[in-house]
Structure 1
Amino acid sequence: MTDLLLANIRPDARQSADILIRGGRIAAIGRDLDRPEGVPVVDGKGAIAIAPFVEAHVHLDKILWGLPWHSINVPPSLRAMIDNEVAIRKDLPWGVPERAGNLMRRCVEMGSTHIRSHVDISTGYKLDNLHGVLEAWEKVKHAVGLELVAFPQTGLMIDPGTAELMEAALDEGASVIGGIDPATIDADPKGHLDTIFGIASRKGAKIDIHLHEPGELGLFELGMIAERTRALGMQGRVVVSHAFCLGDGPAHKVQRMIDVLAEAGIGIISAVPGEIGFPPMFELAARGVRCAVASDSLRDTWNPHGDGDMLDRCWLLAYRTHCRADAELLRALDMGTRRGADLLGLEGYGLEVGCEGSLVLIAGENLAQILVDRPARALVVKRGRVVAADNQWIDGEVP
């Protein structure tokens, strides 16, 4: 069903109104709308309606969600953590389709109706992780949009054949080329970046690069990324995830780099990590850099924290950056909603006539209070179809 009338709701915490969805799109917004024959009516009971959350960076193939508790072993280096994960994933009782499906349903329950997921591609995994995530998505695609990044987690230049597999992934369901720490993982920043930009340019794909490398090294690599973005005319199509160097680099160089990022149209995604510096998200936004927050690693071999709730992630940003005034809290909420949609270029996002008929109902006083208290998601609607209520998946297709 793609037709729905939501009555007695408060769009973006404004005055009470109705929203009529026809054919999966918002057809009308107003007080006491006529009730078309045959269109289901839901009484929102005065709840606030917001456009859905956007999960802009997660790893569906790594997830352990739904499995028994996994105690985290934290190896001493990034390389050791990668190798530890590869070993553990060989013996998991569930495959990628089951685990990825669990997390996608969880994200929908908490109000996210679009996900960008990185999936590991290597000569060891080949395209198995990609195929597994796509298999899971077939069961839930009515409820959530999905964008996949071909991600060389275990290395690109040091694993000959991975580049070819990443390019093949673009013909089998991925639409974004990933990268990771060109110096630390591959010890070849130029070769790594030339390879992924070359693939993206040939295939018309977007780019999303994990950049954990700190300080001067990370800023140098951001400059290399910006240089290639401009040279290939890829402004607006490149994202850097994490970018810790913007949080711990020399202040004057960070300030210059922010201008470079804005001019090159490069987006920044942060998971708001707890133990290290992260990019100044509100300053980035104020200076024209597209940016958003996301969950990244959660409930997997890297990290036991997180539950797929983007409202919680927005609150974490607010807490870590000392947001107190209502206007500050709303800017934090934007980082998991509107700014996430802008960053990923989602068409038809919003609560206006003509937009996709997708929204989240949350009972609360106002948007600031919702962010602080993080109430249950009373209803989640995707293109006019109710897909979750009271934080519970309700579609009959779920086994």
Structure 2
Amino acid sequence: MPDLLIKNAQLPNHKNLVNISINDAYIESIDDISEKPEHDDAPKAIYDAKGYFVCAGFYESHIHLDKACILDRCTIEQGDLNEAVEETGKAKKDFTEVDVFNRASRVIEMAIKKGTVGLRTFVETDSKTEMRAFNAIKKARDTYAFAIDIEICAFAQTGLTNDLHTYE
């Protein structure tokens, strides 16, 4: 018995709609509905794709969740890279674990709703944020692990110092 049956799905390279049987998070079978209209075993759950295209989830390979949603904290006049780095540096001094977690969570939830199944985030560790942003992103990763895979890359923006030596 499959865990999930996605019925009436459109796939590339398939002329007709298909039923997709999923068991233990793996595709068990893809059946052309014109050849096999109903599944032999009653699935635990059924989702009717209603003829819509079904595809794999998206993966975001480069994002900075620690700096997400801070535009309202920055002054933009030149619009160049130097100004962005300077304004971000000013904003980072006020980052708390709760603040970073809340902002990252907003972005993660938006990503999940749009079909993102995994992402790699770069998190700055420096004298302004110390380990606050890193710890917040670890908490966000754990909180949303049920829906998305998050890979964390510690990004030593201004170099490592003696007081920033504990990484998990």
Q: Where on the TM-score scale, by shorter chain, does this alignment land: which range?
A: 0.7 to 0.9
Structure with the greater alpha carbon radius of gyration: 2
Letter in 1 for 2:24: G
* Cα gap change, 1:35 to 1:58, in 2 (>3 Å): farther
- Quote how far apart the aligned CAs of 1:84 are: 2.0
Q: Give the Cα separation in 2 of the matches to 1:150 and 1:130.
A: 7
**Aligned with 1:49: secondary structure?**
coil
C-alpha distance in 2 between matches for 1:38 and 1:92:
47
SS of 2:66's partner is: coil
What residue in structure 2 maps to residue 385 of structure 1?
none
**Deviation above 6 Å: which 4+ runs of structure 1?**
none
Matched residues in 1 for 2:12 and 2:68: separation? Answer: 32
Q: TM-score, normalised by structure 1?
A: 0.36
Larger fraction in strand: 2
**Match of residue 146 from structure 1:** 150
How many Å apart are 1:123 and its aligned residue? Answer: 3.2
Q: 1:124 aligns to what SS in structure 2?
A: coil
CA RMSD of aligned residues (A): 2.9
Shift of 1:50: 1.0
Higher fraction of helix: 1
Please say if residues 57 and 117 of structure 2, whose CA atoms lie closer than 8 Å, have aligned partners that are also in contact. Answer: yes
Q: Specify the code of the residue in structure 2 equivalent to 1:19.
A: I
Cα distance change, pair 76–44 in 1 and its aligned pair in 2 (3 A):
closer
After TM superposition, give the deviation of residue 13 of structure 1 in Å: 6.2
TM-score, reference length from structure 2: 0.80
**Cα distance in 1, alignment partners of residues 44 and 55 from structure 2:** 21
Match of 1:56 among 58, 61, 69: 61
| Aligned residue type for 1:146 | I
CA distance in structure 2 between the aligned counterparts of 1:133 and 1:77, rounded to whole angstroms: 27
Out of 118, 133, 136, the position equivalent to 2:137 is 133
Is 1:42 equivalent to 2:43 in the alignment?
Answer: no
Structure 2 Cα separation of the partners of residues 124 and 54 of structure 1: 30
Q: Which residue of 2 aligns with 1:254?
A: none
Number of corresponding residues: 161
- For residue 6 of structure 1, report the CA deviation from its aligned partner: 0.2
Identity score, percent? 22
CA spacing shift, 1:13–1:126, aligned 2, 3 Å: farther
Question: Partners in 1 of 2:79 and 2:31 — Cα distance?
Answer: 57
CA shift in 2, pair 1:76/1:37, >3 Å? closer
